[in-house]
A and B are shown apart, each in its own frame.
Chain A
Amino acid sequence: MKNIFAVAHLTLKEGLGQKILYSVLILALMVIFFAVLLSGFFMRDIAKIIIDFSLAAVSLGGLLVPFLITVNLVAGDLENRTIFSLLAAPLPRSAYITGKFIGLGLLAGVIMLILSSAGLLAVWAGKMLYGVHFFKMFSPASYITAVFMNYMAVLLLNSLVILWCCLTNSSFLVTLLTIASYLIGQTIDDIVMFISAPNSGVPLSHSIKITISIAKYIFPNLAAFDFKQMAAHGLHIPWSDTITMTAYAMVYSITALSLAIIIFQRRDLP
């Protein structure tokens, strides 16, 4: 266990040193800042716009980790052969993968915590600037739940990126696979809904319908973690949804990581 946390700590520290992290953090903070300023043009929707933009910034900051930092820190380890120094020590490959996942998860957590706090600050600034009555519908619980769900989606995507890193040595290919996973994850819900809609014009047999509904969860259903709209409208996010999606993210991540470990234990290091 100590080994895993040593790798996680190393990963977190190395991740925090990446310059790209600060560029995207500044960009996200700017999005929040301008959301406060520009929301004044949409009088009735001030709260909705500030919350929507803040959550989008949190999402952007969170996605930075799987898209850029995970690829850099896991595929980069193999490409630059940094991994040799770590695995020369008595560190099982499974501990390396788990440590990386935890470290990157902590990194995403730190980034999303900073951005969601900035978002809450934006809500407070909006209240000061435009008046408290515009923010009556704001629900801190929904906001926090939406951020948490977003974090779960980032963890899930992280586990997939680690799996891709174990399959190939090429950072470029890993990035492509990550983009594909993200796009599938964001659209799978809509595609499944379209295909299974009674008026889609495509007659579907019962077995195909079952296959489609299974496929919806075999592919990473990232859209299902998106509660931005509910939080922006101050709607209560049901606990059952939160628990179901958390369980889904955990099962999916553990499965992807287990596969990654199996593949990584069998493969040659370049």
Chain B
Amino acid sequence: MLTNGDQKDNPMPTPAIIVFQNVSKVYQGDLFKKKKVALNGVSLEVRPGEIFGMIGRNGAGKSTAIKIIMGFVKHDSGHVMLASREPDKAECHKGLGYLPESPCLYQHLSITDHLNCAAVIAGIPSPEIKPRIEQILQRVGLSQVSKIKIKKFSKGMTQRAALAYALLHNPDILILDEPMSGLDPFGRKLVVDIINDYRAQNKTVLFSSHVLTDVERLCDRIGVMNRGRMIKVMRPDEIPPSTGDHSKSPLEDIFMKLVNSDTGGKE
């Protein structure tokens, strides 16, 4: 089966929907914080219909890259385009769903209140709002708690609520920052199913994760980040079989090797 990851072999590839060219970002320090290079010349392209996974250690720059794509953080140099527009323009978020890392919602409001607001902002016509909210709550398994305040939600339920928020307007591009975090096996299966649904509908997903087995299973291409750089982009079929320690998955094995060789074996 030809996956979207194979498009790079195609002489006329589809133009990328997320373009990240030689992007650098330095967080300026202050009296209490040291200056930190978050991204150092990162380049990345995600094509329509592609499932792209980013992996890397904590602080590798995955979340910063996602925040730059979302327009939350300004890059210092390089070129970033989201659906052929500058990412900080609100219009280009119309077909975009985003799940932040450790999402936080308004504690005194219910998920229905949040979704009502999101629906209005997304421009969903009024008569369609209620059925759409019911449908999405059913999808993420929160129908029974639709009127309960978020402060009574567990971490996993908040993650599901944030997922509902991201999916409400049926976006064409889904950007998920560590979507499996805080989820039980059923929650993880839900995320996997959503990503697979997106694949079936030929929609685009960019996500970061520490769960390497899921990344290996779901993605058309995988980007490995370390110390603010994209050190390798590969397709799952390019991952060599695991050597040595068989308790590790092949992706885990190559990830360790890549990171260790990049850091010269130093932590």
A127 at the interface (CB under 8 A from B): no
Residues of B within 8 A of A (CB-CB), count = 39
A-B contact pairs, 14 of them (CB 8 A): A2-B123, A6-B116, A14-B106, A80-B104, A81-B103, A82-B104, A84-B72, A87-B70, A89-B118, A90-B91, A91-B121, A92-B90, A93-B90, A269-B72
Mark B71-106 against chain A: 1 for CB-CB distance below 8 A, else 0.
111100000000000001011111011101011111
Contact of B108 among A6, A13, A86 (CB under 8 A): A13
Minimum Cβ distance to chain B for residue A95 (Å): 8
Minimum Cβ distance to chain A for residue B67 (Å): 7
Contact B120 A17 (CB under 8 A): no
Q: Which residues of B from 11 to 48 have beta carbons under 8 Å from A?
A: 27
Contact of B93 among A13, A89, A265, A266 (CB under 8 A): A89
Contact A90 B123 (CB under 8 A): yes
Contact B90 A90 (CB under 8 A): yes
Give Cα A7–Cα B106 distance, bound, in whole angstroms: 12
Minimum Cβ distance to chain B for residue A153 (Å): 27
Contact A13 B94 (CB under 8 A): no
CB-defined contacts of A90 to chain B, threshold 8 Å? 90-94, 121-123
A18 at the interface (CB under 8 A from B): yes
CB-defined contacts of B93 to chain A, threshold 8 Å? 87-91
Contact B106 A10 (CB under 8 A): yes
Contact of B117 among A7, A17, A268 (CB under 8 A): A7
B148 at the interface (CB under 8 A from A): no
Q: Besides the contacts A90-B122, A268-B74, A269-B67, what 13 more A-B pairs have beta carbons closer than 8 Å?
A: A2-B121, A5-B120, A7-B117, A7-B121, A14-B107, A81-B100, A81-B104, A85-B114, A88-B96, A89-B121, A90-B92, A93-B90, A269-B73
B-binding residues in A (CB < 8 A): 2-3, 5-7, 9-10, 13-14, 16-18, 80-82, 84-93, 95, 265-266, 268-269
CB-defined contacts of A87 to chain B, threshold 8 Å? 70-72, 93
CB-defined contacts of B234 to chain A, threshold 8 Å? none
Task: With A81-B100, A85-B100, A88-B93 as known contacts, state yes or no: A6 contacts B117, CB within 8 Å.
Answer: yes
CB-defined contacts of B166 to chain A, threshold 8 Å? 88
Contact of A18 among B100, B108, B122 (CB under 8 A): B108
Contact B162 A85 (CB under 8 A): yes
B235 at the interface (CB under 8 A from A): no
CB-defined contacts of B72 to chain A, threshold 8 Å? 84, 87, 268-269
Smallest CB gap from A85: residue in B: B165
Contact B122 A89 (CB under 8 A): yes
B109 at the interface (CB under 8 A from A): yes
Minimum Cβ distance to chain A for residue B76 (Å): 11
Minimum Cβ distance to chain A for residue B13 (Å): 28
Minimum Cβ distance to chain A for residue B31 (Å): 12
Task: With A13-B113, A18-B108, A85-B114 as known contacts, state yes or no: A6 contacts B98, CB within 8 Å.
Answer: no
Contact B121 A6 (CB under 8 A): yes
B149 at the interface (CB under 8 A from A): yes
Contact B98 A91 (CB under 8 A): no
Give Cα A82–Cα B98 distance, bound, in whole angstroms: 13
Contact of B103 among A10, A16, A85, A265 (CB under 8 A): A85
Task: With A81-B100, A82-B104, A82-B105 as known contacts, state yes or no: A88 contacts B120, CB within 8 Å.
Answer: no
Minimum Cβ distance to chain A for residue B14 (Å): 24
CB-defined contacts of B92 to chain A, threshold 8 Å? 90
Give Cα A10–Cα B103 distance, bound, in whole angstroms: 17
